C-alpha cells in the first residue's frame, strides 16, 4: 500500500511556486521576545506575483483547470485580495484568461493588489461596500453562467483558494518544513483567513511532523467558525489522500483576539511590522502577517508559547498591501531636508 506521502506526490499539481522556500533564523527578534529560537518560513518568497501562501494552494487548484481545458478562471476576494492577484498571476503564467469579483469599500485609486490585478489584465466586477462571502460567491456564479452562455469554458475558484485540494499545498509545506528542521518539538504560528493554510498545516503535522504544535492567528473569523471550516477542509484533503481524517476537534489551536476590524491596521500589528523591519529587515503587511506576528508577540509575552521550544513563523506574504496604506503613520522616518544651494555658494 502507498504511503500518504506517495499518494500526495501522485496527485495532480501544476508547479507555480519556487520551492523549498527559505527557513531563516531571526535571532534579534527571538531575543526581543525572550524566545530561545525563532525562525521565519519565507513563503513570501514563493515567487508567484509578489509571493505568498496562495502559490502553494494554487498549484493544486489549477490542476483541474488545465485537465478540463478551461479557458478562463473566475475567483473572488476583498479589494486587496492576495488570492485574487495570485490567481491572476497563475492564470497568465498558464495562458488562461482571468475575471475577478472583488468587494468592499469603494476605491478611487488602483493601489496595492488592485494595481497588480490591472497589470495582469484581469477584468474586474466590484461589489461596492459589500465583501460578504455569499454575495461574492453569487456574483461569481452569475458571471460563470454568462461566460458559459458565450461559449467559454470557465472555472470558478472559491474564496482564498481554500479547497481540500488547495490545502494539500500546506500538507506538502509541512513535509518540507520537517525536512528543513529535522525531528523535535516546534511551534508553528500562521495567519488564518479562509483556513486552507491552517487545515493543510494541521494535517501535514499529523503526517510528517507529529511533534509540531500548530498555532493559528485569525485575521477575520471567530475561532468557532475556523474550527468548523478547518475540520471540513481536513476531511476533504484526507479523502484525497485516501486516509481517515485525524480527530482534530478539541485539539485545533486558533486565537481570534488579534484581528481587530478586517482590512484595518491595528496598533499591535503596526508594532510587529516595525519590529520585524528594524530588527530583521523583514517586511510584513498590515492585514495578515502584521496581525499574525502581533499574535505571536502576545503569546510569547504572556507565556502561551513555550520559550524553550523553537517557534517558526510562517510568513504568508501579502506585501503589496503595504502600498495600499501609504498614508499610514509608520511612514514617518526622520527626514532632514537639505535645501538646494544658492548659485553663488557653488
Ligand atoms: C497574506 C496572507 N496570509 C494569510 C492568509 C490566510 O490564509 P488562508 O486563507 O489559507 O487561511 C491569506 C489569505 O487570505 C493571505 O493573503
Q: Is the CB of 52 under 6 A from ligand 1?
A: yes
Strand partners, 213: 187
Q: Is the CB of 320 under 6 A from ligand 1?
A: no
Strand partners, 311: 38, 187
Locus of grid cell 490585478: 117
Tens of each residue's pLDDT in the chain, 346 residues: 889 999 999 999 999 999 999 999 999 999 999 999 999 999 999 999 999 999 999 999 999 999 999 999 999 999 999 999 999 999 999 999 999 999 998 888 899 999 999 999 999 999 999 989 999 999 999 999 999 999 999 999 998 878 999 999 999 999 999 999 998 999 999 999 999 999 999 999 999 999 999 999 999 999 999 999 999 999 999 999 999 999 998 999 999 999 988 888 999 999 999 999 999 999 999 999 999 999 999 999 999 999 999 999 999 999 999 999 766 666 677 788 898 887 676 5
- Is residue 73 within 8 A of residue 155, CB to CB? The reply is yes
pTM over 0.85, yes/no: yes
Nearest to 63 by CA among 94, 26, 108, 30: 94
Residues 6+ apart with CB under 8 A from 222: 256
Determine the distance separating the centroid of ligand 1 and the alpha carbon of 246, expressed in angstroms.
23
- Is residue 283 within 8 A of residue 319, CB to CB? The reply is yes
Asked if 81 is an active-site residue, the reply is yes
Q: What pLDDT is attached to residue 173?
A: 98
Q: What pLDDT is attached to residue 251?
A: 94
Strand partners, 97: 72
- Is residue 329 within 8 A of residue 55, CB to CB? The reply is no
- CATH topology match: 4-52+163-324 vs 54-161: yes
Task: Report the nearest-CA residue for atom 16 of ligand 1.
Answer: 82
Angle of helix 267-280 relative to helix 289-301, nearest 10 degrees, comes to: 90
- Is residue 57 within 8 A of residue 84, CB to CB? The reply is no
In angstroms, what CA-CA distances link 277 with 26, 155, 219, 287, 299?
Answer: 11, 39, 20, 16, 20
Q: What angle do CA 125, 137, 156 make, to 5 degrees?
A: 85
Q: What is the CATH number of domain 4-52+163-324?
A: 3.40.50.1100
Q: Where along the chain do its domains lie?
A: 4-52+163-324, 54-161
Q: Is the CB of 88 under 6 A from ligand 1?
A: no
Q: Is the CB of 196 under 6 A from ligand 1?
A: yes
Cα distance between the two ends of the chain: 82
Does the domain at 54-161 match CATH 3.40.50.300? Answer given as no
In angstroms, what CA-CA distances link 84 with 66, 90, 120, 236, 281?
Answer: 18, 10, 11, 23, 27
Q: What pLDDT is attached to residue 273?
A: 95
Q: Which long-range contacts (CB under 8 A, 24 or more apart) does 247-254 make?
A: 248/202, 252/198, 252/202, 252/214, 252/216, 252/226, 252/227, 253/213, 253/214, 253/215, 253/216, 254/192, 254/198, 254/215, 254/216, 254/217, 254/218, 254/223, 254/226, 254/227, 254/230
Q: What pLDDT is attached to residue 329?
A: 61
Q: Which of 3, 36, 81, 211 is catalytic?
A: 81
Query: How are the residues of the chain apportioned to helix, strand and coil, as percentages rounded to the nearest 5?
Result: 45, 15, 40
Instruction: In whole angstroms, give the CA distance from residue 319 to residue 321.
Output: 5
Determine the distance separating the centroid of ligand 1 and the alpha carbon of 160, expressed in angstroms.
7
Task: Report the nearest-CA residue for atom 12 of ligand 1.
Answer: 193
Amino acid at each position: 500500500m502507498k504511503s500518504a506521502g506517495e499518494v500526495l506526490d501522485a496527485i495532480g499539481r501544476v508547479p507555480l511556486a519556487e520551492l523549498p522556500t527559505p527557513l531563516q533564523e531571526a535571532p534579534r527578534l527571538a531575543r526581543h521576545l525572550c524566545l530561545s529560537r525563532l525562525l521565519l518560513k519565507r513563503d513570501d518568497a514563493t515567487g508567484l506575483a509578489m509571493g505568498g501562501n496562495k502559490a502553494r494552494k494554487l498549484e493544486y487548484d489549477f490542476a483541474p483547470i488545465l485537465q478540463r481545458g478551461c479557458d478562463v478562471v473566475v475567483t473572488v476576494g476583498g479589494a486587496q485580495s492576495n488570492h485574487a492577484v495570485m490567481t491572476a498571476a497563475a492564470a497568465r503564467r498558464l495562458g488562461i484568461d482571468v475575471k475577478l469579483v472583488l468587494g468592499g469599500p469603494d476605491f478611487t485609486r488602483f493601489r496595492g493588489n488592485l494595481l497588480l490585478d490591472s497589470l495582469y489584465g484581469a477584468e474586474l466586477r466590484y461589489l461596492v461596500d459589500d465583501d460578504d462571502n455569499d454575495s461574492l460567491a453569487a456574483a461569481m456564479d452569475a458571471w460563470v453562467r454568462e461566460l458559459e452562455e458565450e461559449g467559454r469554458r470557465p472555472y470558478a475558484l472559491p474564496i482564498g483558494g481554500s479547497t481540500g485540494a488547495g490545502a494539500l499545498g500546506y500538507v506538502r509545506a509541512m513535509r518540507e518544513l520537517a525536512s528543513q528542521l529535522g525531528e523535535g518539538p516546534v511551534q508553528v504560528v500562521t495567519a488564518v483567513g479562509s483556513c486552507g493554510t491552517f487545515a493543510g498545516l494541521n494535517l501535514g503535522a499529523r503526517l510528517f511532523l507529529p511533534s509540531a504544535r500548530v498555532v493559528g492567528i485569525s485575521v477575520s473569523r471567530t475561532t468557532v467558525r475556523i474550527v468548523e471550516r478547518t475540520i471540513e477542509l481536513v476531511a476533504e484533503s484526507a479523502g484525497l489522500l485516501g486516509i481517515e481524517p485525524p480527530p482534530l476537534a478539541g485539539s485545533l489551536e486558533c486565537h481570534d483576539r488579534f484581528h481587530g476590524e478586517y482590512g484595518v491596521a491595528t496598533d499591535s500589528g503596526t508594532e510587529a511590522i516595525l519590529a520585524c523591519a528594524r530588527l530583521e529587515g523583514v517586511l510584513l503587511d498590515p492585514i495578515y502577517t502584521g496581525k499574525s506576528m502581533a499574535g505571536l508577540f502576545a503569546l510569547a509575552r504572556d507565556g502561551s508559547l513555550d520559550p524553550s521550544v523553537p517557534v517558526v513563523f510562517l510568513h504568508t506574504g501579502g506585501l503589496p498591501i503595504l502600498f495600499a496604506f501609504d498614508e499610514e503613520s509608520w511612514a514617518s522616518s526622520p527626514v532632514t531636508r537639505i535645501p538646494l544651494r544658492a548659485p553663488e555658494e557653488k
